[in-house]
Amino acid sequence: MKRIIPHIPNITTAAFVQLVAVVVFVSAFLLTGCSENELPGDENTDTNRTTFTIEVSDGGYAPAAGEKPGTRAAENGYTTRFTAGDKIGVFAVKNNEIVGVNNLCLVATAETDAGDGSLVWKTEDGETPIIPAGAAYYAYYPWQSNNKIADKVNASVTDVDDFFADLVKNWAPSTNQGTYTDYTGSDLMIASGTPSGKSLSFSMQHKMALVVIDLPKTKYTLTDASGEQLPDYTADGAPDTKFNGFTPYRMSDGTYRYLIKPAATNLSGSYTNATSATAEWEFKASVTAGQYGKYAIDSGTIIEKTHQLQAGDFFMKDGTLLGKDETPTPAQQAACIGIVYWIGDITGNNNYGLLDEKFPSGTHGLVVSLWNMLDPDEDPDDPNSVRMTWTYDNYDDYVGDWLGSQNGVTCTWDGIPDGFSSIAVTDKMQGYANTIALKEYNKYGYGKDGNERVKPVNGLDVFETAHPSPSNSSGWYWPSVCELKYVCWGQGKESSTTAGKQMLNEQIKKVSGSNVFGKYDIYWSSTESSNNSDKAWDVDFSAGTAGNFSTKKYGTKQVRPLLAF
């Protein structure tokens, strides 16, 4: 039976704390007679340039009437955070005509000198843009090609809503917002510029409406393959979640987000309830532009299920499980992010207490991702971009010296756990601790871009964005050689074999769009060699052998992330 789901009232404009404020600083000098996006040579000097920077000053949305205020972190969950590669379009208008800057594409670019992740905004050619002075300025996100935007702006008006009226009217959010790129690509924002001296600020306004869908949670009573009781496990979502005719973006807190035009929109879907029956839901979303409405599906429901946890189980993006002997439906394949390959607890001494607070009863097992990590510096469409070196360029520093404050190197990691002095340990499931340490090491490092020393840990953030992990998991991390061996060998195996790889490949093949382990694949671990500072451990998946003979700065191998749950 279908049920109509009441929703939390939309937040009014007056209740907003503040919309996203994007501040872009540019030089403002008079240019005339320039063609589209052209930068003149005579005036293109260092003295009349300044780099673009961006600031996001959004306090978040105020809670809806009747709700308790959320934490600061939760309130900040509705801001737009620009990242390197994002593009905005800019216009300059004088005397009812576009002058000099006509849909100028500006790209968010990492500020390499700062080393702190800050962004500057440059042209697609990497140049600092010059903007005509004394004009009216308009900007929008995400940038559209000239043929898509040309007839959708009106230079004869002075209000930003009127300038972009046709763009907003004809904007159609994608029905597939399942990835972060697709989701943000539907989030139309516009702004008028406010000049001040040589700076120009744009305070972006969202023109679409945001629907937040909160599904029931699932509590599992787990046993292992021998029937032994395991700690209970609560997943972020419901089994067999389906959305009819649309694909929202799943957030790490288990909710789903979907952008719509600000008009009443019917949305529906289903999930499997505690009695293994299909529970259908539907509601009419009615949300104003720039606001969000939160819709709770069977609010507060906990689905209780029993499950025998086994290596080979399918692990979904909301943390729910599908038995190893099941055949995933197309919807389940789309929701799957990994395969359970090891059952057990990696808290405590394995990871120096770093996972204990998140898993007070211990972890239930480990999941290997369906995909290889992409090289963070290469074209994601290049099939060879999954192969990477352990370190950047010529950097082969020994992380053990830094962790142990040895050989004149002082550890700069505030809060380093007691007893953690090496990532060269080969007999612990300590990939999570290794990953945290390497991220801290990159902050300390003086690599190619100030914070780039060990390459794979920089790729994890990109991987997490592309394949979000559930909030009740460890998040994706880079496995230690001990963990990586059991991916290839299989749990319980104590010698070189490929039984684990073969089992995993049979399961991975059941999920469309995933990456099986190749016959000759070799994978980097996060474990460095204890007797050769320029080398790190890897596992050869053709024979199941582990070795520490590969040089960090020259060897190119693949990386396969894991998570604990």
**What per-residue confidence (pLDDT) applies to 509?**
98
- Helix (H) or strand (E) segment spanning residue 190: strand 189-196
- Residue that terminates a domain, selected from 264, 281, 304: 304
Q: Is the pLDDT of residue 110 over 50?
A: yes
Q: Are residues 518 and 379 in the same domain?
A: yes
- Under a CB-based contact definition with an 8 Å cutoff, are residues 499 and 543 in contact? no
Whether 63 maps to a domain, the answer reads yes
**What per-residue confidence (pLDDT) applies to 48?**
35
Average confidence (pLDDT) over 253-275: 91
Q: Is the pLDDT of residue 5 over 50?
A: no
Cα first-last separation, the chain? 33
Separation between Cα atoms, residue 476 and residue 258, nearest integer Å: 24
**What per-residue confidence (pLDDT) applies to 452?**
56
Q: Are residues 196 and 215 in the same domain?
A: no
By mean pLDDT, which of 1-10, 481-490, 491-500, 511-520 is the weakest?
1-10
Q: Are residues 156 and 37 in the same domain?
A: yes
**What per-residue confidence (pLDDT) applies to 77?**
65
Q: Is the pLDDT of residue 40 over 60?
A: no
**What per-residue confidence (pLDDT) applies to 301?**
87
Torsion over CA of 233, 459, 23 and 293, rounded to 10 degrees?
-30
Q: Is the pLDDT of residue 151 over 70?
A: yes
**What per-residue confidence (pLDDT) applies to 552?**
92
Separation between Cα atoms, residue 32 and residue 132, nearest integer Å: 8
Q: Is the pLDDT of residue 65 over 60?
A: no
Q: Where residue 409 falls among pLDDT bands split at 50, 70, 90?
A: confident
Hey, is 498 helix, strand or coil? coil
Q: Are residues 227 and 155 in the same domain?
A: no
pLDDT tens-digit profile of 228-258?
999 999 998 998 899 999 999 988 788 899 9
By mean pLDDT, which of 48-52, 102-106, 317-321, 517-521 is the weakest?
48-52
Q: Is the pLDDT of residue 66 over 80?
A: no
**Exposed, middle or buried by CB within 10 Å (0-12, 13-18, 19+), for 159?**
exposed
Q: Is the pLDDT of residue 44 over 50?
A: no
Separation between Cα atoms, residue 481 and residue 547, nearest integer Å: 9
Q: Is the pLDDT of residue 123 over 60?
A: yes
Separation between Cα atoms, residue 297 and residue 271, nearest integer Å: 10
Name the domain count of the chain.
3
- Residue that terminates a domain, selected from 203, 220, 250: 203
Separation between Cα atoms, residue 472 and residue 377, nearest integer Å: 30
Q: Which two three-digit tokens encode residue 354?
A: 């770093």
Residue with tokens 């990871």: 351
CATH number at residue 263: 2.60.40.3570
Q: Are residues 253 and 213 in the same domain?
A: yes
Q: Are residues 64 and 182 in the same domain?
A: yes
Q: Are residues 273 and 136 in the same domain?
A: no
Q: Are residues 438 and 486 in the same domain?
A: yes
- pTM value? 0.74
Average confidence (pLDDT) over 207-227: 92
**What per-residue confidence (pLDDT) applies to 181?**
86
Contacts (Cβ under 8 Å, ≥6 apart) of 94: 132, 134, 135, 136
Residue from 249, 243, 245 nearest 184 by CA: 249
- Residue that terminates a domain, selected from 304, 333, 356: 304
Whether 360 maps to a domain, the answer reads no
Q: What percent of the chain has pLDDT over 70?
A: 82
Angle between helices 455-466 and 431-444 (to 10 degrees): 110
Max Cα distance, the chain (Å): 79
Q: Is the pLDDT of residue 523 over 70?
A: yes
Which residue did the predictor score with more confidence, 169 or 42? 169
Whether 40 maps to a domain, the answer reads yes
**What per-residue confidence (pLDDT) applies to 49?**
34
- Under a CB-based contact definition with an 8 Å cutoff, are residues 558 and 372 in contact? yes
Whether 534 maps to a domain, the answer reads yes
pLDDT tens-digit profile of 74-95?
334 677 777 778 899 999 999 9
Q: Are residues 89 and 219 in the same domain?
A: no
By mean pLDDT, which of 187-201, 323-337, 345-359, 512-526 is the weakest?
187-201
**What per-residue confidence (pLDDT) applies to 102?**
95
Residue 303, φ and ψ in degrees, nearest 5? -90, 120
Q: Are residues 90 and 112 in the same domain?
A: yes
CA 234 to chain centre: 23
Q: Where residue 383 falls among pLDDT bands split at 50, 70, 90?
A: low
Q: Which two three-digit tokens encode residue 160?
A: 């930003």
Contacts (Cβ under 8 Å, ≥6 apart) of 549: 535
Whether 322 maps to a domain, the answer reads no
Q: Are residues 167 and 261 in the same domain?
A: no
Give 260's strand partners: 209
pLDDT tens-digit profile of 387-407?
999 998 766 678 999 999 988
Q: Where residue 28 falls among pLDDT bands split at 50, 70, 90?
A: very low
Whether 319 maps to a domain, the answer reads no
Whether 351 maps to a domain, the answer reads no
Q: Is the pLDDT of residue 461 over 80?
A: yes
Whether 363 maps to a domain, the answer reads no
Q: Is the pLDDT of residue 291 over 90?
A: no
**What per-residue confidence (pLDDT) applies to 293?**
87
Q: Are residues 527 and 546 in the same domain?
A: yes
By mean pLDDT, which of 100-114, 219-233, 333-347, 509-523 is the weakest?
100-114
Residue from 534, 552, 536 nearest 391 by CA: 552
**What per-residue confidence (pLDDT) applies to 11?**
34
Q: Which two three-digit tokens encode residue 278?
A: 């299909």
**What per-residue confidence (pLDDT) applies to 194?**
80
Q: What percent of the chain has pLDDT over 90?
A: 59
Q: Domain range spanning residue 80?
A: 20-203
Cis peptide before 239 (omega within 30 of 0): no
Average pLDDT over the chain, rounded to an integer: 83
**What per-residue confidence (pLDDT) applies to 60?**
29
- Under a CB-based contact definition with an 8 Å cutoff, are residues 50 and 26 in contact? yes
